[in-house]
């Protein structure tokens, strides 16, 4: 199983009806795959430590999905072996009135961490071409007439262009961008919703509004498909991952993260001769210290 199988960078078009939600077409063993995921964690930790120390590049991971696809659990599990000091997770909810009074990328820019960090976005600027599109929220925005296009298609085509330009800017500012869509099936979402309703410990995760959004399943799928096809690029590719089996999703996300960090090849900073001499002096002082 190669991560390239799930990658969309503009070379091919995504057809979500044909995209796997469970990965059962691959001959993989659950126990072996979980063990492989665990073996990746020490290497991820090592590379993340170098990334933080070098502070030359940053890594942005953007997670998008329909409800109950497992975004939160994926973040928690994959990041479990990484030093939290070097990871910043931002969850984007419904925009505030202040955020709506700015351009849609304003709140995103505020969340970009310093280079050296891994920034994880649980939802992101893509909500503005997904949820906003499906629910037509932009119709109520206080925008001048020149900013409202004659059709939804034109409006969101323009937004996708703006997103591509912004991600190009981030890339040229020293950030690697990985975008992940967790592709859950309608049947699995239903199963997880029922679990949230039936399990008192998970009741807080469910809202009656979730069913209203589920009723728009086809509209959301079209919006995701269009957005991924419009914004999958070489510098900011999408990975459309099967999300019905969480152990497989976690393996693939870990593998994508490891491949990306390996390609970035961060290194611990090299000290100058003067700095090395100071270290030597400090070591000698410590060795000769009398208490």
Mean pLDDT across the chain: 93
pLDDT in tens, 140-153: 888 898 888 778 88
Residue whose structure tokens are 């209203």: 212
* pLDDT above 90: residue 44: yes
Helix axis angle, 71-78 to 246-264, nearest 10°: 50
DSSP letters for 25-36: TS---HHHHHHH
Are the CB atoms for 258 and 48 separated by under 8 Å? no
* pLDDT above 80: residue 291: no
* pLDDT above 90: residue 114: yes
3-state secondary structure (DSSP) of residue 13 = coil
Strands (E), the chain: 7-8, 58-65, 87-91, 118-122, 175-183, 238-242
* pLDDT above 80: residue 36: yes
Q: Which residue has the higher pLDDT, 29 or 139?
A: 29
Q: Which residue has the higher pLDDT, 56 or 145?
A: 56
Helix axis angle, 246-264 to 30-54, nearest 10°: 30
Q: Which domains does the chain have, with CATH numbers?
A: 3-287 (3.40.50.300)
Residue 152 pLDDT: 84
3-state secondary structure (DSSP) of residue 53 = helix
List C-alpha distances in Å: 129 to 71, 104, 248: 19, 10, 28
Residue 151 pLDDT: 82
* pLDDT above 90: residue 77: no
């Amino acid at each position: 199983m190669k991560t390239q199988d799930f990658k969309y960078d503009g070379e091919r078009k995504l057809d979500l009806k044909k995209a796997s939600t469970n990965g059962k077409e691959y001959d993989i063993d659950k126990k072996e795959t979980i063990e492989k995921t665990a073996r990746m964690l020490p290497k991820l930790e090592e590379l993340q430590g170098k990334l933080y120390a070098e502070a030359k590049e940053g890594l942005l991971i953007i997670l998008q999905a329909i409800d109950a696809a497992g975004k939160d659990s994926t973040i928690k599990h994959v990041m479990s072996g990484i030093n939290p000091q070097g990871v910043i997770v931002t969850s984007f909810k419904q925009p505030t009135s202040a955020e709506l009074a700015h351009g849609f990328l304003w709140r995103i820019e505020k969340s970009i961490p310093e280079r050296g960090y891994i920034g994880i976005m649980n939802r992101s600027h893509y909500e503005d071409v997904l949820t906003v599109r499906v629910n037509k929220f932009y119709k109520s925005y206080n925008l001048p007439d020149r900013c409202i296009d004659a059709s939804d298609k034109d409006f969101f085509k323009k937004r996708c262009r703006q997103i591509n330009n912004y991600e190009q800017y981030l890339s040229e500012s020293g950030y690697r961008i990985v975008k992940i869509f967790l592709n859950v099936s309608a049947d699995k979402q239903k199963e997880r919703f029922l679990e949230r309703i039936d399990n008192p410990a998970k009741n807080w995760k469910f809202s009656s509004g979730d069913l209203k959004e589920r009723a728009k399943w086809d509209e959301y799928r079209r919006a995701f498909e269009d957005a991924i096809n419009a914004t999958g690029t070489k510098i900011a590719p999408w990975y459309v991952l099967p999300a019905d089996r969480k152990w497989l999703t976690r393996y693939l996300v870990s593998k994508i993260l490891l491949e990306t960090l390996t390609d970035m090849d961060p290194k611990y900073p090299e000290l100058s001769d003067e700095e090395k001499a100071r270290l030597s002096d400090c070591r000698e002082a410590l060795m000769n210290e009398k208490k």
